[in-house]
Structure 1
Amino acid sequence: MKIAKKHFLLTSGVVFIVVTALLTTLYFVMPIYYQSVKTAEVTREFTQVSQSIQGKSKDEMTALLTYYDKKNLRMWYALTDATGKLYYPRVETSDEGIAVQVSPFIAADNERAQLKEVITDGDGQNYTLEGEYSLQPVSDASQVLFELSPYLLFFSLCLGISLSFVYSRISTRRLKEISATTRKMVSLSPDVFCQVNGNDEIADLAQDVNTLYESLLRNMEALRLENEKVAESERSKAEFLRMTSHELKTPIAGMLGIVDGMIYGIGDFKDRDKYLKKCREILEEQSQLVQSILAISKLEMQDVEEETSVFSLSDVLEEQVGFYQTLATVEGYHFIAKLSPLEVEGNQTYLLKAIKNLLDNAFHYTKAGGEILLSVDENQLVIENEAEKILSKEQIKQIFQPFYRPDYSRSRKDGGTGLGLFIVQQILEQHQLTYRFEAIDEKWMRFSIFF
């Protein structure tokens, strides 16, 4: 059964039951209440009359009783002496020997009640004051109410049905609107929402539905972005595997040709000592490439946040400065380090690896006799070098791609694998750090990391 129908039946029944109970209560309680009120009123009136004629003469008493009879018709008074002789009301008769009994001022079949009080006049003679009143109007009112009850019940039933119909429609209107809106939410359109009217439970329900829908849309958007990231990651992995295969295939094919030449003694390949050294050089290059690939794989599989800690970056780099100063002396470079105290939060191992890759890259691409600067200051790390060739903006955009090398370095004289900056990018992005690689003039390249 729908809520509107339930409300209609429930409220109709409640209205009908309440009206029926009210009429029944009035039928039984009203006579009792009316009798109690009327009895109290006539008792007060009778007491007031008896007190007013107390100690008066016989004529004064009859005059006062006549006055009260005219003033109020709710009670009829009678005044008799000790022998039963009636003094009020006066009855005219021609025969004084006939005794007149005046007791029932009300018809014998009427419900009545009497009050009596002994009155003493001014001469000390006692009289009896009687007051009689009728209860017939109470019975009449109950009878009238009983006769009208079917019509009142019918009216209450009609009124209850009408009010219940209106109430059931109004009370369920907002619920129907919420239900219709939730059906529209299936489309996941961002402009669909429930109207919030009032401050009751239905308004709370509408607000909760809106909050739930907004949360669903946010989660769906986050899921879509995550799916795009996963799809992009899969494409990147496929591209990385393709480029890795190409990088490995060419030197392996070249080394196989050298080995075949040595086996069969073809031409210059008869000089095995020379070409064995050449094969070793090729294997060392491929070993470095494999190590870089393994480092990338380990970086992707491991959550860097698991080993996150707060450490002094300047102290960690201070331990590496001696090695790079020695390397600069051997290579003929000028290496300068300026390290101010700086506390950072992250994976110390991976951050140090990223910085060392940047320093190695700077040493590989610095012109002969050039300078390399390392500085840590004001929540940033900066590595600058006098480059043998300044990269263009287009080259800088591609420099972080795996196996990418500028045209002038494709001979691998620097011994690089083409994965150094790609690894740096992966580490910094996992730490959610901002970085920038740029040419600051016609001689210098700069890499900045902001903590």
Structure 2
Amino acid sequence: MKKIKLFPKIFLYTFAIMSFLIIISHLLIYFIFPITYLENRKDSIKNTADILAESIDGLDKSFINKYLELFSKNNEVKVFIKNGAIDNEVNLENKIDINLDSENNSVIIEERSVKTREDENLVLYFVSSKDMKREAKNISLSFLPYTLIVSFIFSIAISYFYTKIIVSPIVEITKVTNNMMKLEKDALLKVKSYDEIGSLKNQINTLYIRLLGVIDDLDKKNKEIIELEKMKVEFLRSTSHELKTPLASLRIILENMKYNVGKYKDRDKYLSVSIETIDKLTKMTVEILKVSSFQELKDDKELLNINQEVKTILEDYMVLSNNKNIEINNFLDEEEIYMSKLALRKVLANLVSNAVKYSYANGKINIGVKNNYFFIENSCEPLNEKQIKESFDLFSGVEDKSSNGLGLFIVKNILLNYGINYKFEKSDIGMIFYFKLPNIYS
């Protein structure tokens, strides 16, 4: 039975129980029916005796004799008249064919008194002698086979439908959970009731939805990790390549100083140049490490007010902007962005730094939001297409001692890490940098 499936197992159990009850009930009928049949027969003879005695009471004696004789011939119940004298009583054993010693023979005797028209009292015996137990058993055996067949047919039908009702939800759960194992998105159970089965289906659906959510989150995290690793590989590849140039230059200077070649005999001058180069490389390395750390800040998000962050950044550049007499116009209001505070401040600091640094004296800087794009615009010499492209390259300003060559490169990498679109282009007064404000609920 352990290897049989649930439907045939429940069907067999149900059918076996119903068959047992059917057999027990029919056996009870077979053995109890003769007893009830005999009791009913007694009641029937008693009623017959009452009715007959009442109907002949007060009639002529000769008519009564003929009537009772005719009644006895046509019925199983025999009627005899007892004489008045005790010694002339009816010998029932001789009058009817009975065996009083037989255990199977049932004799029912009812006694009634009637008066004739001649005012004579007559005592009537109503006698029925028959093997009623055998008769009752024969009657029960005549219909019990048919009832057994009909009962078994009904038990098979009831067992089938009962088993189907019980097993159907389990079969449905099995089928749907098989689809859930294949991670089909629409594999959910239909809840049509609020009983234990309905509650179980709800729990399975809830667990499956949560499982899909966890899997989606893991896929998303996995993709982010893969993308982050790709970015790190590309970043390290580009940085290692670009660092070779200043290091090679530094090595050439030091070798020429070592062998007193040409102008490098002036060691004091080129020692200073070498130290400056080393300091620059150190600063670049620090910035590279910062960019690498900003790439890992994607999950450290919070809702930030851009205007507040811009005001904080502008305070750091107030002295420099005042020295150049730059007019700063802040058109920001209550715009918000959902990202890491450190990352946002690094982006804004680099953009403000470049705007102040490259603006004309007595120029101006405009900061605001337009068409859901944050922008920072400064009055300066417009760049051509090649210069715009190179401005995002690593160490593009390496020859410029006032620049570490990482400003817009850092901005680009941080914005790309958050999937934020950006653009850098000419404007009416110089150059303008845009980046899109993403939906804060995404």
**Could you tell me the TM-score, scaled by structure 1's length?**
0.69
Give CA-to-partner distance per residue, 1:71-107, whole Å, 9 cap, x none: 9835333343543699xxxxxxxxxxxx864565453
Is the CA contact 2:367–2:376 (under 8 Å) kept in the aligned structure 1? yes
- Partner of 1:340, secondary structure, is coil
Identity %: 21
The correspondence for 2:353, drawn from 343, 349, 360, is 360
Residue equivalent to 2:50: 47
Tell me how far apart the structure 2 counterparts of residues 41 and 210 of structure 1 sit (CA, whole Å).
68
The answer to whether residue 322 in structure 2 is matched with residue 329 in structure 1 is yes
- Partner of 1:117, secondary structure, is strand
The correspondence for 2:23, drawn from 8, 20, 25, is 20
Residue segments in structure 2 that go unaligned for 5+ positions in a row: none
Tell me how far apart the structure 1 counterparts of residues 388 and 42 of structure 2 sit (CA, whole Å).
114
The answer to whether residue 235 in structure 2 is matched with residue 240 in structure 1 is yes
Q: Which moved more, 1:320-329 or 1:24-33?
A: 320-329
- 1:111-190 alignment, distance < 5 Å: 111-119=106-114, 126-134=121-129, 136-143=131-138, 188=182
The correspondence for 2:403, drawn from 415, 419, 426, is 415
When the two chains are superposed, the root-mean-square deviation of aligned CA atoms in Å is 5.4
Tell me how far apart the structure 2 counterparts of residues 399 and 60 of structure 1 sit (CA, whole Å).
147
Is the CA contact 1:16–1:160 (under 8 Å) kept in the aligned structure 2? no
The answer to whether residue 417 in structure 2 is matched with residue 426 in structure 1 is no
**Could you tell me the TM-score, scaled by structure 2's length?**
0.70
Q: CA deviation at 1:216?
A: 7.0
The correspondence for 1:73, drawn from 43, 56, 75, is 75
Residue equivalent to 2:423: 437
Q: Which amino acid aligns with 1:290?
A: T
Q: CA deviation at 1:111?
A: 1.6
Tell me how far apart the structure 2 counterparts of residues 159 and 290 of structure 1 sit (CA, whole Å).
90
Report how many residues are paired: 427
Give CA-to-partner distance per residue, 1:294-337, whole Å, 9 cap, x none: 223333456753xx666655344434333334322334543222
Tell me how far apart the structure 1 counterparts of residues 325 and 183 of structure 2 sit (CA, whole Å).
65
Tell me how far apart the structure 1 counterparts of residues 20 and 371 of structure 2 sit (CA, whole Å).
82
Give CA-to-partner distance per residue, 1:385-434, whole Å, 9 cap, x none: 345335759967x977x7275xxx6744660433655356537855x8x5
- 1:249-268 alignment, distance < 5 Å: 249-268=244-263
Tell me how far apart the structure 2 counterparts of residues 203 and 367 of structure 1 sit (CA, whole Å).
74
- Partner of 1:388, secondary structure, is coil
Is the CA contact 2:111–2:126 (under 8 Å) kept in the aligned structure 1? yes
Q: Quick one: structure 1 residues 193 and 353, their matched pair in 2 at CA, closer, same or farther if it must change by over 3 Å?
A: closer
Give CA-to-partner distance per residue, 1:7-34, whole Å, 9 cap, x none: 5654564454344323312211221232
Q: Quick one: structure 1 residues 339 and 178, their matched pair in 2 at CA, closer, same or farther if it must change by over 3 Å?
A: closer
Residue equivalent to 1:291: 286
Is the CA contact 1:338–1:374 (under 8 Å) kept in the aligned structure 2? yes
- Partner of 2:376, secondary structure, is strand
Tell me how far apart the structure 2 counterparts of residues 322 and 178 of structure 1 sit (CA, whole Å).
65
Tell me how far apart the structure 1 counterparts of residues 268 and 151 of structure 2 sit (CA, whole Å).
116
- 1:299-338 alignment, distance < 5 Å: 299-300=294-295, 305=300, 313-331=306-324, 333-338=326-331
Q: Quick one: structure 1 residues 81 and 449, their matched pair in 2 at CA, closer, same or farther if it must change by over 3 Å?
A: same
Q: CA deviation at 1:372?
A: 1.6
Is the CA contact 2:191–2:202 (under 8 Å) kept in the aligned structure 1? no
Q: Quick one: structure 1 residues 420 and 395, their matched pair in 2 at CA, closer, same or farther if it must change by over 3 Å?
A: closer
Residue segments in structure 1 that go unaligned for 5+ positions in a row: 87-98
Tell me how far apart the structure 1 counterparts of residues 216 and 250 of structure 2 sit (CA, whole Å).
51
Tell me how far apart the structure 1 counterparts of residues 226 and 293 of structure 2 sit (CA, whole Å).
20
Is the CA contact 1:390–1:445 (under 8 Å) kept in the aligned structure 2? no
Tell me how far apart the structure 2 counterparts of residues 135 and 285 of structure 1 sit (CA, whole Å).
131
Is the CA contact 2:11–2:159 (under 8 Å) kept in the aligned structure 1? yes
Tell me how far apart the structure 2 counterparts of residues 391 and 69 of structure 1 sit (CA, whole Å).
137
- Partner of 2:317, secondary structure, is helix
Is the CA contact 2:34–2:133 (under 8 Å) kept in the aligned structure 1? yes
Q: CA deviation at 1:283?
A: 2.5
Residue equivalent to 1:107: 98
Is the CA contact 2:415–2:421 (under 8 Å) kept in the aligned structure 1? no
Is the CA contact 1:362–1:372 (under 8 Å) kept in the aligned structure 2? yes
Tell me how far apart the structure 2 counterparts of residues 74 and 46 of structure 1 sit (CA, whole Å).
13
- Partner of 1:115, secondary structure, is strand
Residue equivalent to 1:384: 377
Q: CA deviation at 1:380?
A: 7.1
Tell me how far apart the structure 2 counterparts of residues 391 and 107 of structure 1 sit (CA, whole Å).
138
Is the CA contact 2:365–2:377 (under 8 Å) kept in the aligned structure 1? yes
Is the CA contact 2:383–2:426 (under 8 Å) kept in the aligned structure 1? no
Tell me how far apart the structure 1 counterparts of residues 330 and 114 of structure 2 sit (CA, whole Å).
131
Q: Quick one: structure 1 residues 153 and 196, their matched pair in 2 at CA, closer, same or farther if it must change by over 3 Å?
A: same
The correspondence for 1:34, drawn from 34, 37, 54, is 37
Give CA-to-partner distance per residue, 1:48-73, whole Å, 9 cap, x none: 4444455x345498289659938983
Tell me how far apart the structure 1 counterparts of residues 387 and 265 of structure 2 sit (CA, whole Å).
46
Q: Which amino acid aligns with 2:367?
A: L
Q: Which moved more, 1:284-293 or 1:434-443?
A: 434-443
